[in-house]
Structure 1
């Protein structure tokens, strides 16, 4: 287990980027409609007047595409669940009416 942690740290540190200020860039996650869950590097002082506005994508484009596909599948499953729930409710009402009417 410890070997995995060490190699994971090495991979993370080997990909570190410096902003134009010379500081280690922060990794932030975007939650916009266009880039849901996509991570990017940014200057740690971007909100300050002396920040350099450095920006670079952290993850690959295919990760974003994978998130979009998963979101699409989730929406389809939600629709299926709603349809099944409606069918079940209709069946229950029909059986109730048959039994008591």
Structure 2
């Protein structure tokens, strides 16, 4: 299934904490991220830019205490799953169209080459 980036859809424009700078132990500014796991859908956090890698300082922090209502914990993952399925359906419908387009392009190109050879 495709990876879906919903972070930009959930920016709280008036929330000052989205604009404040938080630094990891490397002294690097961290971006506020959003998790879309089924346990924490839509929950915001900061982590070291190298988090999970060998250079990580292991800095990781939630933006807020858990404030996700139980209904959202149920609904959001279902909606993300449904969106992923719909994207897969669209992709599967577009793939044959793309292949047909490539075949037509190949035919046109080979005809143009043939026509140029006849002219020369």
Q: Which of the five TM-score ranges fits, normalised by the shorter chain?
A: 0.3 to 0.5
Q: With the length of structure 1 as denominator, give the TM-score of the two structures.
A: 0.48
The structure with higher relative contact order (CA 8 Å, sep 6+) is 2
Q: With the length of structure 2 as denominator, give the TM-score of the two structures.
A: 0.42
